Structure 1
Amino acid sequence: MIGLDPWSPQAPDDPGLTALLEDARAAAGDPVAALALADRATERLPLPGTGRTAELWRGLAELAAVDLTVARTLEPHLDAVAILAQAADAGYAVPPASGTWGVYAAEGPGARLEARPGDEGRLVLSGRKPWCSLAEHVDSALVTAWVDDERRILVAVDLSHPGVELVDEPWVARGLPRVRSTGLRLTDVPGVPVGDPGWYLTRPGFAWGGLGVAACWLGGAMGLTRRMRTAATEREPDQIGLSLLGKADMALTAAAAVLTEASSAVDAGLVEGEHAWPRCVRVRSVVHDACETVLTAAAHALGPGPLTGEEEHAARVADLQLYLRQHKAERDAALVGQAVADGMPVAWA
C-alpha cells in the first residue's frame, strides 16, 4: 500500500529503513553521499514483482520526500540490481550486482555505441553513449549497444576500464544540479551481455522500472505538500490556502491509489506482454499530472518566500520540475491512446 495519506510521514515498521531515511537527509544534495547508501538501500528495499512491489515504491517515495537528489541517485542503482536479478531468473549468466550501478539506455543524434563479439562469450564495445547520469561516480553500468542496424543488447561494463572516457558536455541544470549527465566514449571495452538482443526492452521489468521513477516523482510532491501543511499550521489559513492544500491532497491521494493498484497488478503477473509499457505509461502520466498540480498549488499557496529563503524548498521545486521532464507529455498520451485503440484493457469500457 502506497498509503491512504500519501503525504503524511509514516514511521516504517523496519528500523533499518527508518535509519536509511535519516541518513538520506544527511546526504541531501550530495550524490556521492547518496551512493554510499546503495548497499543498504539494496538490502532494505525489495525487488519489483516479487510480492512486495508496493513496499519498494513506498520506500522510493519516502526517499524522494526527504531529498530528490538521493532518490534520483539510488533509483537507477536499484533498477540495475533488479535487471540483473531478472536476467538471472531468465537463465542468463550475469555478473554479481556488487558496487554501485547506472543504467544507460538513451540514444542521441551523433552518438552510437556498437557491440562486437569478444572472447569467452563477452562483447567488446566501442563508440559513444549519451546521457549517462553520475557516470563519473558509479562503479559499473548496464548500457545498451547496437549489435546490428536494428537490434540492441544490454551489456554490463566496468566503468574503471581504461577504454572508458567521460565526454564533458554542458550541464546548466538548476534542478538536480549535482546529478550530472555526461557522455561516455568507449574504446574496445569488454562487457558481459545481459540477455539476448532485445531482451532489455521486452522483459516485463522494463515497464516496472518506469513506475519506480514515478514513485520518486510522487515522493517529491509529497515533500512539497508536507511543506504546505506546515504553512497551514504556522498561521491561520484563509479559504484559498485551504483550497490549495485540499487540491494537492486530492491529487496525491488519487496518484497514490493508482500506483498502489499498479503494484498489485505487477505482483500478480498482470503487467506483461504487449500492453505492459502503455499500462505503466498510463500510471506514470497520472502521477506526473498530480505532481504538476502540486507544484502549481504550492507556488500559489506559499508565494515567493520559501523559494527565496528556504534552500530545501527551493531545491525541491527545481529538482522535481527537472525530474518530471523524463515524462514525454503529449507523446506519452499518444502512446496510451494508440494502445487503447489497439484493445488495451480500460476501466471505463
Structure 2
Amino acid sequence: MFTNELIVVAILWGVGSLVVPRLDRFFALTFTVIASVLCGLRGGGLDYDGYVSMIDASRAVDGLDVAVVLAVAKDPGFYLVNVLSEFIGQDYWIVFVLMALLGFVPKFMMADFVGAYRTLFLVFYFFLMAPGLEFAAIRFSVAIAFVGLFCISGYVKKWIYAFSSFMFHISMIVLVVAFFGRIRGFIFRNAFFVGFGSFLFIYIVLGDISSYFEDRSGSLGAGNIGSIIFPVFNFFWVVVFANSKRITAFMARDVCFRSVASLYVYFSLLSMAFSLSFIAASFRFLEGGLFFGLYAFFVYGVNRRFDVVVLSCLLSIIFQLIGFNIVRGTWEALWVI
C-alpha cells in the first residue's frame, strides 16, 4: 500500500530539511506531492471499502437531488470530487488521489506559517495524524485543512475556505460560532465552565444522541465511561493551555496564532461535550482539536520560547496522538515493517 515507502520518505525528508534548512520549502513541497500520490494509490486500508461503496453509490445517482446526494456521498464536496474524477477516468484511485491532494496541499500552505520547520510539521502530522485522517477519515481531513486556511487568510478568502470546509464535512458549520470575536473570547476565557457545562447539558438533557442517527454503530459505545478517557484528559490540558499567561499574551499579538489556538480549544470543548452522548462525533472533534493544537505549537515555537506549562501542553498532545493511534489500531493497520 506504499505506506512503508512513505515512512522512508518522511524520515529522509525530515532529516534533510534539518541538515539543509534553506531547502526546507522544497522538501515540504515535494513531500506533500509524494505523500498525496502514494496515499491516493494505496488501494486498501482503513475505511477504504466504505469509500469505494460511497463512490459506486454516488456514480449511480441520476441528477443532483440534494437529499439523494447527501444520503450516498455524506457531503456534497465528496460527491463533486467524485463527479470531476469521472472526466479523468473511472478508477477509484483517481478519487483518492484528488482527496489526498485536497487534504495535503492546504496543510502545506499552512506550513508556511511555521517558518523553517515546514517539513518537520508535515512529517509530525504524517506520523501522528495521517493514519487516522488521510488514510481513513478523508472527508474530515479535507474539511479541517480548509478550516486551517480559513485561519491564515484574508477576509474574502476566509469565507471561501469556510464554505469549502462545510462542503466536505457538514459538522464544520459549528465552528462559525468560534469566530465571532466576543463569543470566541468568552469561550477561551471560560474554557472549563463552557466545556463542563456543555458536557452536562448534552448528556443530561439530550442523552445518547447517537440514537437519532441511522448508523448506531457510529456511537462506538456512547455512555461508556471508558469512551471519555481521551476527551477528559485532553480537556484538562486545554484548560491549562487557555489559562497560560504566555499563550494569552502571544495571542494578543499574533492573529494567526489566536485563530488556531481558539480552534484547538473549541474543537476540544466540543469533544468533551459529546464524550458520553455521541462518541464518534467526540473522537472526530478530538482529532480536529489535536491537529490545531499541534499546528498552534509549531506556530508558537517559531516566535517564542517554551516554558514548563507550554511544553507540558505540547507533550500532552503528542502523548494523546500516540495513544490514539495505538488504541484505534491505525498504525498497526497501515505500517507493517
TM-score normalised per structure 2? 0.28
- In terms of fraction of residues, the more helix-rich structure is 2
Tell me which structure has the larger Cα radius of gyration: 1
TM-score normalised per structure 1? 0.28
